[in-house]
Amino acid sequence: MTHLFRFLFIVLLLVSCQNKVDRKDAYVPESSGNLNHVTIVMPEKEWNSSLGESVRTELQQIYEGLPIDEPQYSLNYLNPKTFTGFARQGRNVVWFQKDSTARFQLAQNQFARPQIVALITGEDAEIQEYYLQENATLLRQTIAENERKEKIRRISKSLTTEKTLLNRFGIQLKYPSAYETVKDTINFVWIQKPVRKGHLNLIVYSLEEDRLGDKFSEQILDIRDSIGKVHVPGRLKGSYFITERAFRPYFYKTQLDGKSAYLTKGTWEVANDFMAGPYINYAILDSISKRWIVVEGFAFAPSANKRDYMFELNTIISSFKQQR
């Protein structure tokens, strides 16, 4: 199954489950837990064996694009004996059970809502490990979509009323009112939110359609540097925002709002100063207006872990909509 088909399957699974809310679902409690956390339920013996190691390998893969490695998900281990009551209200649960029938099964809102429960059964740990590994990609993608939807739900509680992006570029992003526009020029908007000892940032600009061609991976980095030099100054005189070239960024082809897009993840730095951090950059093709709309998020938080900051920025960018 291709990546696109897997993703569509996940979306259809979550939407169909959401649309089929029965009376039992209406009375389950609200799920709890920090974003990007997963509850793992299995006997302690298995947690400390090959099965537990496989779980950690599959669910704690490195979150791409950070200057210091952080896992994609944080794991909360529970012994099956303690998996009762409030402990069952985690938003993402992977539950291993001994059973004569081997299977991998996804369920939604079983003990709380919103919630994804992955049930993996088999007559021994070796079989359970096999079913985990065979379905690991689907499991990660399902959890990722569940967390993205939860983050959007939380963001929607206090959406900004600013119309800067709509007025300037004809686009909309769902972002909290804690973000404020700090720079608005003819073809550049900079939006920022303060965090502890730092800030999260969104910048948006457009490019002519012919600016990006077959050598996208080289062109987008040079364009980032030129934009940074003009629009994103550093703390010191003569310093400015550029791409960290010591480590090769991640490049992908993807889609946003049904439009072809390029995705770049990497590390930024400031020329002539000591500042750095991660960024995520989407170049989205607007074929009707013959332009690229570039939406980028970057974080500056030198004393903090950055996974959840970048997850927030990526989730905001995933809400991209073009208005006509």
- Tell me the pLDDT tens digit for each residue of 298-321: 999 998 999 999 999 999 999 999
Tokens 């404020």 -> residue: 180
Residue at token pair 């259809």? 12
- pLDDT at res. 17: 47
Last residue of a domain, one of 128, 155, 182: 155
Q: Assess whether pLDDT exceeds 80 at residue 8.
A: no
Same-domain status, 170 and 127: no
Phi, psi of 278 (to 5 degrees): -90, 155
The mean predicted confidence, pLDDT, of the chain is: 91
Beta-carbon contacts of 33 under 8 Å, excluding residues fewer than 6 positions away, are 39, 76, 89, 90, 91, 92
Any idea what DSSP says for residue 68?
Answer: S
State percent of the chain over pLDDT 70: 92
| Cα Rg, the chain, nearest whole Å | 22
Model confidence at 24: pLDDT above 90: no
Which three-class secondary structure state does DSSP give residue 15?
helix
Q: Tell if the pTM clears 0.85, that is, is over it.
A: yes
- Asked if 151 and 195 sit in the same domain, the reply is no
DSSP state of 311: H
How does residue 104 score in pLDDT terms, banded at 50, 70 and 90? very high
Query: How many domains are contained in the chain?
Result: 2
What CATH number does residue 218 fall under?
3.40.1000.10
Average pLDDT over residues 234-243: 91
Retrieve residue 162's tokens: 């600013």
Query: How many CA atoms are closer than 13 Å to the CA of 20, on its beta-carbon side?
Result: 9
pLDDT computed for residue 228 by the predictor: 94
Place of tokens 């509680």: 157
Co-location of 168 and 146 in the same domain? no
Shared domain check, 86 and 196: no
**Do 151 and 163 fall into the same domain?**
no
- Three-state secondary structure call for residue 20: coil
**Whether residue 146 is found in the same domain as residue 39:** yes
Range of the domain at 138: 3-155
Same domain, 213 and 312: yes
- Distances in Å between the Cα of 114 and the Cα atoms of 2, 20, 42, 154, 304 are 27, 13, 22, 12, 28
Structure tokens at 253: 């082809």
Last residue of a domain, one of 155, 182, 216: 155
Same domain, 26 and 163: no
The pLDDT tens digits for 202-223 are 999 999 999 988 888 889 999 9
**Alpha-carbon gap, residue 324 to 308, rounded angstroms:** 32
Q: Verify that 28 and 163 share a domain, yes or no.
A: no
Q: Are residues 57 and 127 in the same domain?
A: yes
What's the pLDDT band for 26 if we cut at 50, 70, 90? low
Q: Could you tell me which residue, 274 or 162, shows the higher pLDDT?
A: 162
CATH number at residue 44: 3.30.379
Residues 136 and 233 in one domain: no
Indicate the residue among 140, 155, 170 that finishes a domain.
155
User: Do residues 192 and 137 share a domain?
Assistant: no
Q: What is the pLDDT of residue 273?
A: 87
